[in-house]
Structures are given as C-alpha cells and as structure tokens.
Amino acid sequence: MKKQYEKTVVQKFEDTYCDKCGEKVEVAHDDAFRFRFEHVTGTNYGNDADGNRSDLDLCPTCAPKAVEVLKQNGFNVQETSWMI
C-alpha cells in the first residue's frame, strides 16, 4: 500500500490591538496612520542573528499621547513633512 502525503499551508492574518488601551487598530484604507515602536538588541553573524526585541503598537488615539509623553521627558522627537 502506497502512502500519500499532503502539504497544507495556512496563512494566518492577525489583527493589531493597541498596547495601551486594548482597542483594535483600525484605519481607513486611505489613511496613512502608522505607529510601531521597535527596540532590537543582539548580535548579527552575517546571515544569522539573535537577540531580543521589544515592540509597541498604538492606535490613532494613543499614539499622539505617547509622542507627547516622550517630548515632555526630553526626547528629541523629529517631526517632518512627507509626500510621495
């Protein structure tokens, strides 16, 4: 008896939730809002690397508040215009 094997690929799309208020981060398809803070430490070995990562996702309500807290605590937040 011949055995048959089938490979199934499942794609999982996860929703993003605000790490401050817990609300689902939802923006309109034409909205340019994006806030993701990522701090990565570790070592690169050519094509390999290891280390630790801290990340933070915020919603359109909480993101400006976080930026303001950073400014109030002496962080030099760079604000620039952009256009494509």
Q: How far apart are CA 67 and CA 13, in angstroms?
A: 28
Residue 10: its pLDDT value, please? 56
Residue 12: its pLDDT value, please? 55
Helix, strand, coil tally for the chain in percent (to 5): 15, 25, 60
Residue 82: its pLDDT value, please? 80
Question: Residue-wise pLDDT tens for the chain (84 aa)?
Answer: 666 666 565 555 578 899 999 999 888 877 878 887 888 899 988 788 888 988 889 999 999 999 999 999 999 988 888 877
Burial class (CB in 10 A: 0-12, 13-18, 19+), 50: exposed
Residue 23: its pLDDT value, please? 93
